[in-house]
Amino acid sequence: MSNPSLKLDEASLRAELAALPEWTHRAERGGLITREFRFADFTQAFGFMAQVALEAEKRNHHPEWFNVYNRVSVVMTTHDAQGLTPKDIAMARFMDRCAAALLSAQR
């Protein structure tokens, strides 16, 4: 990826989104991606949020999110760039890995 603070161009965005099939791209606010994660229960959802919060703080790049019981709805965009940047893609990948690890542990 290029400069993590610069908005992705259309070609780069298409390529990155192809690798994030669970995420939905929307054009509003200059571009954002959304995903709803579903977990076994509130504890697992909260554990996911805690892991992501610690990483987001390290990266200084925080999601917009909403939690109800076992669901966590996430929006990623970079406000300063008015759209999607490599930072958003990297956080989305991190969230996917965290969710996959939690969900595979429950099986």
In tens, the pLDDT along 72-87 reads 999 999 999 999 999 9
In tens, the pLDDT along 20-35 reads 999 999 999 999 999 9
Helix (H) or strand (E) segment spanning residue 67: strand 64-68
- Given a contact cutoff of 8 angstroms between Cβ atoms, the answer to whether 25 and 17 are in contact is yes
The model's confidence at residue 5, banded by pLDDT at 50, 70 and 90, is: confident
Does domain 10-105 sit in CATH 3.30.1360.20?
Answer: yes
Q: Report whether pLDDT(107) > 70.
A: no
- Ranges of each domain in the chain: 10-105
Q: How many CA atoms lie within 13 A of 97 on its CB side?
A: 9
Q: Report whether pLDDT(1) > 80.
A: no
Q: What is the pTM of this model?
A: 0.91
